[in-house]
Structure 1
Amino acid sequence: MSKNDIEQRIISILNKILHYHSNIQLEDDLQALGMDSMNFIHLIVLLEEEFDYEFPDETIVIENFSTIKSIMAILNE
């Protein structure tokens, strides 16, 4: 799967969660776009399902998921 495919899948998930209808960029601050603790939990669940991945417990803090770029970095570890 290419970086662009991963990015687009993450954007699709974020658009569903945040009800955001503009293009979310790699460096956009997701908390500024409306990411709160409930959305964050929803994001984790959907990302794990979408990518068949289980985030290590120590990575599941909202600061590690502040941008699409940071999410991609965790998924690539």
Structure 2
Amino acid sequence: MSVDEIKIKVKDSLKRLLEIGEQEVTDQEDLNQLGMDSMSSVNLVVELEEMFDIVFDDEELLFENFSTVQKITDIVERKLVLPQ
């Protein structure tokens, strides 16, 4: 799966979870400013794990790792490339 495909899926999930419709989400935009809170973060993590068939380690579950689309894409890409 390409980085662009990952990014599209991440953005689609965020738009649905944050209920922001078709609003454009940039790669570096602070998701907290779009309404990302602890509950939506947990929902996003669960959805990403199911969508990409990955598991995030406890030490990876920091808000800073999920604060922008780019950071989320990077961590998902690493999980897909590295063996579980």
Using the size of structure 2 for normalisation, the TM-score is 0.87
2:57 matched residue in structure 1: 56
How many Å separate the matches in 2 of 1:46 and 1:76?
A: 15
Q: For the residues of structure 2 that align with 1:38 and 1:7, how far apart are their CA atoms? A: 21
Misfit runs of 4+, over 4 Å: none
Aligned to 1:26: 27
Mapping 1:1-77, distance limit 5 Å: 1-21=1-21, 22-77=23-78
Check whether the contact 2:28–2:68 (CA below 8 A) recurs between aligned residues.
yes
Q: Indicate the SS of the match to 1:31.
A: helix
SS at match of 1:32: helix
- The percentage of aligned residue pairs carrying the same residue is 39
What TM-score does the superposition give when structure 1 sets the normalisation length?
0.94
